[in-house]
Amino acid sequence: MRLNITPCHCNPTEIKLHKVSAILELHFDDGSIFELPAEYLRVFTQSAEAVGHGPGQETLQIGKEDVTITNVQPVGNYAIKLSFSDGHDTGLYSWDLLYKLGSEFPLLWSEYIEELKAAGLSRRSPLHN
């Protein structure tokens, strides 16, 4: 899913990877705290593999229910690079993207579920749904 990302002007103050629960916990300097599941982050990667190189080239990400985050690597002062257990490691997650994914989690996740349904697909197990 290609996302419209607006600058949040927020920076993370803490980033914790909870490997057992496959949750990335993010604390931002405006006091916001988000707990983002690995599956959610993988589904919403903004890499070319998922969003293509232009509108209409998006590829619906499916079968990511069991994916975990294997590595978190800082990229300058603006993003992190996440490596996933399915081998995906080309997406960068800017602070603005992570903030959007955190603050709009319920809406974005329900839109993803609806896209799956429209494609005749479903998830094996629910995630906050």
Within-domain flag for 72 = yes
Is residue 113 assigned to a domain? yes
- Percent over 70 (pLDDT), the chain: 88
Residues 52-89: pLDDT tens digits?
Answer: 556 666 788 888 999 999 999 999 999 999 999 999 99
Is 41 within the bounds of a domain? Answer: yes
CA angle 101, 102, 105 (to 5 degrees): 70
Residue 3 counted as domain residue? no
pTM for this prediction: 0.89
pLDDT tens per residue across span 86-112: 999 988 999 999 999 999 999 999 999
Q: Can you read off the two tokens belonging to residue 97?
A: 């993207």
> What CATH number is given to the structural domain containing 106?
3.30.2020.30
Assess if residue 7 is contained within a domain. no
The set of long-range contacts for 106-110, using a CB threshold of 8 Å and a minimum separation of 24, is 108/1, 108/3, 108/40, 108/44, 109/40
Q: Examine residue 82 and state whether it is found in any structural domain, yes or no.
A: yes
Residues 73 and 83: their CA atoms lie apart, in Å, by 8
Q: How far, in Å, CA of 63 to CA of 71, rounded?
A: 20
pLDDT at 3: 76
What is the residue range of 100's domain? 12-118
Looking at the structure of the chain, the number of domains it has is 1
* Residue 123 located in a structural domain: no
4 in any annotated domain: no
What angle, rounded to 10 degrees, do the helices at 95-103 and 105-118 form? 80
Q: What is the pLDDT of residue 82?
A: 97
